[in-house]
Each structure stands twice: as structure tokens, then as C-alpha cells.
Amino acid sequence: MTLVAVKNRATAKHLIERYFRQLTDGCGNGDCTNELCASCRDFRPLDNNAAAAKALELFKINAKLCNPHPSKKDFLDGAMSEADLCPAKEDFSDVSHLTEDTVATILSFCEERGDYSALIRIVGRIFSNSDALIRSFRKDEPAAADLDSSQPAGADEREKEGSESMAASSAALDEGLDEMMDPCEVTVDIAAVRRVYDRLLSLDQVEAALVNALIYLTPNMELDLEYLDVYETNPDYLNIFVVVLENGNLHSPEYLEVALPQFCKAMSKLPVAALARLAKLWSGYGLGHVRRMAETFQQLITFTVVSNEYDSETLVNDDRTVVAAAQCLKVAFYASILGGDVDVEHNEEEEEDPESDELTLHELLGEERLYKKGPPADPLELELGVRPVDSIRPLVPYEDFVNESLNEVVEMDKDFTFFKVNAETKFSFQSCPFILSVITKNQGLYYDNRIRMYSERRLTALYSMVQGQQPNPYLKLKVRRDHIIDDALVRVSRPRVTRVQDPRQELLRVSGRNQRLRPET
């Protein structure tokens, strides 16, 4: 089991234990209105086994968790000091990461004073720091240590009893955990992030802080991913992209000029395994989310193409913003396929031809890459184990991924060269064929057929010279003007005959054969 799986398993088990304690002991709030908490008046008590099974169900649906509530005795005894109830500093300088509760507290503080400067400073500070974003909005918040410190008097004995009860049901919990754990799952509480964005984006001042924070954050992310391999050492680095992409205003003009292009460049540096996790995550969010992601990247491509001029010297393939946005759009494309109806049963690896020790002429001439059967397999396609041809009905229709503005400026002859020859150093939009229109793809097929024709003619001449024959790479057909198709099909289907030196001898031979076949009267 990998370190990531162990970490995710520990997080899930911690959450299930919190649900179990909530179902058995409650949160301690006599006025609790959560029907899934033992402290609620309408709650029906459960035994330990039923509570363990219910805890697994609540974990699956990410149900609401109550925060432990202090008792009156704790207030009287001074167990909860004023510093525990209110922030230590009015500027919240001690906040190192964000949770939904933290944002709600800061918002209430700012609303009371009619001044949102503290919220703007915290949002700018957290969203511009990669480490702070990684730790923000986690499913395992608040930490177990925080829970222990806030429990009322006498909680030690109840904790001990709860631990014993959990031990009795641990087998059921572990079995259910094995079924639910998904290696592609992230540790971000998506529902909490969306609720936080709904509140933050209603404030214009906070919107500007998010834009500036993203502009400051993304260059460092791009360097970390390209040179430090941060995702390999910490897979939770993907949390940054999950949190940022939940921002429903990324397509707005404030982001399109600087923030979103830089973010897409950083996202394009993610390894294939991380992009596959994102595609699987988005595929489970449904049509609305995948469509919003696709439209965000499409709008960036269109905005960039329309804002610039391209020609045979200044190619759109060299525009890093367009290239990065197209690569990000690919993640949404595969998420659309995964989220729709897919048939992968027929997707079996074809048997490869046995390798031969003899080199073909294409290999001798160094042209084997130009004439490989079929396009090269996409790395993301291999990682996900699904192909576009396996899709029966995607979430988002294929035509919604075609960008007409881009198709108008693509130089297909050069793009085809990049695709076939310079794939390692130059980007080709044929590696993202979903973005190309039928007309543009037809141009690519035209160049492919022309190159194949010239090469085959050259190889035919070479074969003829080796065999000592007169080079004749052309196929000559004699057809009638009014019957072009019929004559051509007949001529091609006939076996090739050897030309004779004297046509009259051939005529006599055919006449004699007809005489022998004529029936006697």
C-alpha cells in the first residue's frame, strides 16, 4: 500500500470515528438541530453496531458533522477561556490555513464592523501560498487534537468507552473502508469549498484579492512542478488545483488576461497521473461541472486567439497560453467521456506483429515514424484506460469541444510536420484532435496522403532499380469517359497480365481458344 493510500485511509477512518461519536455521544449541544447527532431531541438512540454501519453511510455522503459543544460547567469552571471563544488577534494573523468555520468566523467579524479588510488580507495571504492552500478545506478538519482539547469534563471516560465500542466494530469499519477507498480521491471537502466561494464571490473586494493571489501563486507552482517534482513527493499538491478550479468566476475578464493563463501553464506541468486524477474527479461531478470547466478553457483559447495575430511565421502553436489551455481542455474532454456511457469491453490490446530482424526500407531511410499505423497513443488515454472511440454518449457533446477561432488560424501543414516529426519539441493540435473541426482534420489527412504517395513512389523506384527493371511507379488505367468508375473498378480488380511484344499473336491465341470452346451444333 502506498503512502498516499495509507494517508487517505487514516483520514477516512478518523472521519468515520467522528461520525460514530456523534451518533453515540452527540456533540454536547442541548439545542442541536442536526438529526444525525445524538444530542438532537428527535434522534433515536442506536447500538454500537448500528452506529458503526450508520457512520459508514454518513461518510459516503459526506454528511454534516457537528462541532463539539462545551457544557455550562466548562464555562463556570473556566475551562473555556475568552481566548478560546474569540480570535486571539483581530487581524487573524495566526490563521495558517482556511476552513469553512474559519471563513464564517472572519466574515461575521468583518460584517459586525462593516470593514472587510481583515478578510481580504487573509484570503490574499492563504490563496497566494501553496502550502497554506494544500492544508485548507481538508476533510479531516478539525484535527483530533483540537477535538480532545475542546471536550467537556468527564470526556476521558466517555472517550474510553467510545474507543472500546469502536474496537468492537472495527472489523466492520475496516471492511467498509476497503470498499470505499478510492486512490484517485482527494482530501479536499468539495462541498465546503463551494459554500465558501458562494459567500466570498458576492464581495467585490474579495474577488480582486483572489485574482491578485492567483497571479502571485501560479509562477511558483509552475517552477515547483517543472523542477522540483512536488507532486511525486506530496500528492496532496493537487488540492491547490481542486480548490482554485472550484472558483465559478474563472472565465470572467478579471482572470482571462493574466491569472487564468498563468494558472493553465502551471496545470499543464502536472504529471499524467495527476491529470488522470482530476479527470476522474470531475467525471463524478456531473454535466454542469464538466461543461463549466470546458467553457472556462474554451473562453481562454478564444480570447487569446482573437487578441493576437498569427501567420506562417508567428504560429499559434508557439503561443504558450493557447497550448496550455488546450492541454487543460483535454482533461475536461476525458472527464466528459468517463462521466458518460462508455463501453471498454472491446478495448483489448491488438496483437502486435512479430518483430522481424530485417529492416524495412522505411527504417533504413529513417522514415518509420512517418508511416506508423495509427496515431500515437495519448499518455492520458493510457493512464485512464479509455479511448474516445469507447464513448457511447459523453456528458458534453463532441462539437462543444471544437474551437472555431483556433481552427481559423492553425497552419495545418506545419502542424502536421510537428505532429509527425517534431513531437518532442513542438506542440501539435493534432495531439488534441477534439478541438479541431472536420475541415481542419481533412487538411491533415490530405498532407498525410500526399506524403505517403510521394514516399511510396520513391520506394517503388528504388525497388525497381534494385531488381534491374525500368522504374514505373505509376498505375495506368484505360477507362472510357462515360464509364470512369466501372472501368476503373474492373481494371483494378483484374489480375495483372504480361505485355506481349506482338499484339497480333495475342489476338490469334485468343481466337483459337474461342474456337475450341464453341459448342458443336
Give 189-240 as a DSSP string: -HHHHHHHHHHHTT-HHHHHHHHHHHHHHHHHHHHIIIII-HHHH-GGGHHH
List all residues 6 or more positions away from 63 whose beta carbon is below 8 Å from its beta carbon. 19, 36
- CB count within 10 Å of CB 305 equals 23
Q: How far apart are CA 464 and CA 519, in angstroms?
A: 45
- pLDDT confidence of residue 478: 86
Within a domain: 169 = no
Q: Which three cell numbers stand for residue 80?
A: 473555556
- Note the pLDDT of residue 28: 75
- Return d(Cα 300, Cα 250) in angstroms, integer: 10
Domain annotation covers residue 49: yes
List the grid coordinates of 404.
Answer: 472555431
Dihedral angle over CA of 222, 226, 230, 232, nearest 10: 140
Q: Quick one: DSSP state of residue 438?
A: H
Q: Give the CA distances from residue 502 to residues 224, 342, 385, 505, in Å, rounded to whole numbers and listed in that order.
A: 80, 64, 63, 6
Q: How many structural domains comprise the chain?
A: 2
**What are the E-state strand segments in 104-149?**
none
Is residue 117 in a domain? no
Q: How high is the pLDDT of residue 458? A: 72
Take residue 43 and report the three cell numbers written for it. Answer: 434522534
Asked if the structure places residue 395 within a domain, the reply is no
- What is the model's pLDDT at position 51? 79
Query: Is 368 inside a domain boundary?
Result: no
User: Which residues make Cβ contacts (< 8 Å) with residue 206, sequence separation at least 6?
Assistant: 116, 119, 120, 123, 200
Question: What secondary structure letter does DSSP report for 432?
Answer: S
User: Taking the CB of residue 154, how many other CB atoms lie within 10 A of it?
Assistant: 10
CB 219 within 8 A of CB 262: yes
In a domain, 249, yes or no: no
What residue ranges of the chain have pLDDT lower than 50? 1-7, 71-88, 142-155, 158-159, 162-163, 166, 177-181, 350-359, 497-504, 506-508, 510-511, 513-518, 520-521
Structural domain contains residue 16: yes
Q: Which of 287, 278, 280 is nearest to 328 (CA)?
A: 278
Closest among 180, 175, 163, 160 to 20, alpha carbons compared: 163
pTM of the shown model:
0.68
- Amino acid identity, position 160: K
Angle between helices 259-267 and 204-223 (to 10 degrees): 40
Among 42, 61, 80, identify where a domain stops: 61
Closest by CA to 245, choosing from 255, 254, 257, 235, is 255
Quick check: is 25 in a domain?
yes
C-alpha cell at 319: 503561443
Q: Record the cell numbers describing residue 435, joined without a space.
A: 478541438
SS3 23: helix
The range of the structural domain enclosing residue 29 comes to 9-61
Q: Is the peptide bond preceding residue 433 cis, with omega within 30 degrees of 0?
A: no
Which pLDDT score is estimated for 385?
Answer: 92
